């Protein structure tokens, strides 16, 4: 069943055209209400009992596990950011001299710096697969280049399901097959795709999946999620959070120190991950995404952007072929004759919010957007040509 526009669930003003969820999501009204309830709960701390630290966290993990098709919610960790998740992964990887860590061109900084540091630690190499210069079949050729770059020297491959700036889709199934062949780890950044593109851990079998929570997952800024596979079952966490230890629910006995962690990924959750405000907001967000269903969200985004894409291409803009990009987030290369600074002024006047990347704009949309939003945007661009 197709989804209809859901703007009535949000507090985005009618005059605002927000096409920048890839930077920060707006909360819908149920999330606002949950956050306020969390703030008020802090005003009455005597109501915060032992289970308040544990049961809501379990619910969040179960919801996220359902979203990414994970059987055991104990494989999910609560993290404060994508960088924390990648740091946890890197903290548990040992490399040999001249091993290769494979990245893609212009990867998001949080998924670059950590690997540069790890490579220096072990005398390994960071190998970057550049985006092809030619725009002809660029997405297809980039995927081929990634697969051809995986060899017996490859120890880790880390990339997103899509490119965070231009929406190029990467064939994770084929990458997984190749990494399995060479016994390399596959670490996936789901920050710009999980919650709007269907993603199955059972199908892709990544060794870890790291997601910032404040974009397509509608969580507050400062929360995220991580899935850890078997490779990390007995690893070392970045910090020693008391609630990650076995039997920590028995709060009257905390000074009887417990050598064992809770099973699987629980050891990797950040300290104070039971944040009463955040957890309530995260629960409402994930519940709604599961009702909407990512596949239907993505189909809606494709429907409302299709006419605008035709118009932009007809007027000299470059957009990746639809078979090799996402529809909820994509880059548009503007014609060289267009005055970018003038466009910024026009967008500000029309209250249209997007991201600029040099001569590219990044457009990202959701269920609160409409075809009319994209018509408004294209009119603004055409007025500057």
pLDDT tens track for 148-204: 999 999 999 999 999 999 999 999 999 999 999 999 999 999 999 999 999 999 999
Question: What is the average per-residue pLDDT within 11-39?
Answer: 96
Angle between helices 294-314 and 371-383 (to 10 degrees): 30
Reported as a single tens digit per residue, the pLDDT across 203-255 is 999 999 999 999 999 999 999 999 999 999 999 999 999 999 999 999 888 88
Q: What angle do CA 105, 109, 115 make, to 5 degrees?
A: 80
Residue 270's nearest CA partner among 88, 67, 39 is 88
Biggest CA-to-CA distance, the chain: 71
For residues 181 and 150, what is the distance between their CA atoms, to the nearest angstrom?
10
Q: Where in the chain is the domain with CATH 3.90.1150.10?
A: 7-27+294-383
Report domain 45-292's class. Answer: alpha beta
Reported as a single tens digit per residue, the pLDDT across 84-112 is 999 999 999 999 999 999 999 999 999 99
Which two tokens mark 183? 């016994």
Reported as a single tens digit per residue, the pLDDT across 271-300 is 999 998 999 999 999 999 999 999 999 999
**Residue 8, pLDDT score:** 97
- β-sheet bridge partners, residue 128: 103
For residues 385 and 381, what is the distance between their CA atoms, to the nearest angstrom?
7
Contacts of 187 (CB under 8 A, 6+ apart): 86, 89, 156, 157, 158, 206, 207, 208, 210
Give the DSSP letter of residue 302. H
**Residue 251, pLDDT score:** 86
Pick the CATH number of 7-27+294-383 from 1.20.1290.10, 3.90.1150.10, 1.10.287.610, 3.40.1710.10: 3.90.1150.10
Neighbours of 123 (CB within 10 A): 11
Question: What is the average per-residue pLDDT within 313-320?
Answer: 96
Cα dihedral 198, 199, 200, 203, rounded to 10, equals: 100
For residues 85 and 235, what is the distance between their CA atoms, to the nearest angstrom?
13
**Residue 366, pLDDT score:** 98
- β-sheet bridge partners, residue 78: 225
Q: Where in the chain is the domain with CATH 3.40.640.10?
A: 45-292
39 — pLDDT class (breaks 50, 70, 90): very high
359 — pLDDT class (breaks 50, 70, 90): confident
For residues 195 and 367, what is the distance between their CA atoms, to the nearest angstrom?
12
Helix (H) or strand (E) holding 100: strand 100-104
Instruction: Encode burial over 318-329: b for 16+ CB neighbours within 10 A, e otherwise.
Output: bbbeeebbbbbb
Indicate whether 358 pLDDT > 80: no
What rounded mean pLDDT belongs to the chain? Answer: 96
What phi and psi, each to the nearest 5 degrees, are found at residue 184? -105, 150
What phi and psi, each to the nearest 5 degrees, are found at residue 356? -105, 140
For residues 100 and 151, what is the distance between their CA atoms, to the nearest angstrom?
9
Cα dihedral 226, 84, 131, 157, rounded to 10, equals: -60
Looking at the chain, the whole-number percentage of residues with pLDDT higher than 90 is 94
**Residue 254, pLDDT score:** 87
Helix (H) or strand (E) holding 333: strand 329-333
**Residue 110, pLDDT score:** 95
**Residue 140, pLDDT score:** 97
């Amino acid at each position: 069943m197709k989804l209809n526009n859901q703007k009535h669930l949000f507090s985005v003003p009618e005059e605002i055209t927000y096409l920048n969820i890839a930077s920060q999501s707006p909360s819908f009204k149920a999330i606002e209400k949950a956050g306020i309830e969390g703030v008020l709960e802090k005003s009455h701390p005597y109501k915060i009992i032992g289970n308040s630290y544990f049961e809501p966290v379990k619910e969040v993990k179960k919801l996220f596990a359902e979203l990414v098709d994970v059987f055991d919610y104990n494989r999910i960790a609560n993290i404060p950011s994508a960088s924390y998740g990648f740091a946890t992964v890197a903290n548990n990887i040992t490399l040999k001299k001249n091993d290769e860590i494979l990245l893609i061109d212009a990867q998001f900084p949080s998924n670059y710096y950590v690997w540069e540091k790890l490579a220096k630690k072990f005398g390994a190499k960071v190998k970057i697969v550049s985006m092809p210069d030619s725009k002809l079949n660029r997405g297809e050729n980039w995927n081929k280049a990634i697969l051809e770059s995986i060899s017996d020297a490859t120890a880790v491959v880390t990339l997103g399901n899509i490119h965070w700036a231009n929406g190029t889709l990467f064939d994770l199934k084929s990458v997984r097959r190749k990494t399995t062949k060479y016994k390399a780890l596959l670490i996936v950044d789901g920050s710009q795709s999980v919650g709007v593109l269907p993603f199955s851990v059972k199908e892709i079998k990544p060794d870890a999946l790291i997601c910032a929570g404040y974009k397509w997952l509608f969580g507050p800024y400062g929360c995220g999620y991580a899935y850890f596979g078997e490779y990390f079952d007995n690893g070392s966490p970045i910090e020693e959070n008391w609630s990650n230890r076995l039997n920590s629910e028995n709060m009257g006995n905390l000074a009887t120190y417990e050598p064992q962690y809770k099973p699987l990924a629980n050891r990797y959750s950040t300290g104070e991950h039971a944040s009463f405000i955040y957890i309530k907001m995260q629960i409402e967000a994930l519940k709604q995404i599961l009702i909407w269903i990512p596949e239907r969200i993505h189909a809606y985004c494709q429907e409302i952007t299709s006419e605008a894409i035709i118009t932009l291409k007809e007027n000299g803009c470059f957009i990746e072929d639809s078979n090799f990009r996402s529809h909820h987030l994509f880059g548009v290369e503007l014609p060289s004759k267009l005055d970018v600074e003038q466009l910024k002024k026009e967008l500000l006047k029309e209250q249209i919010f997007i991201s600029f990347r040099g001569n590219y704009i990044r457009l990202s949309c959701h269920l609160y957007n409409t075809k009319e939003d994209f018509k408004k945007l294209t009119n603004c661009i055409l007025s500057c040509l």
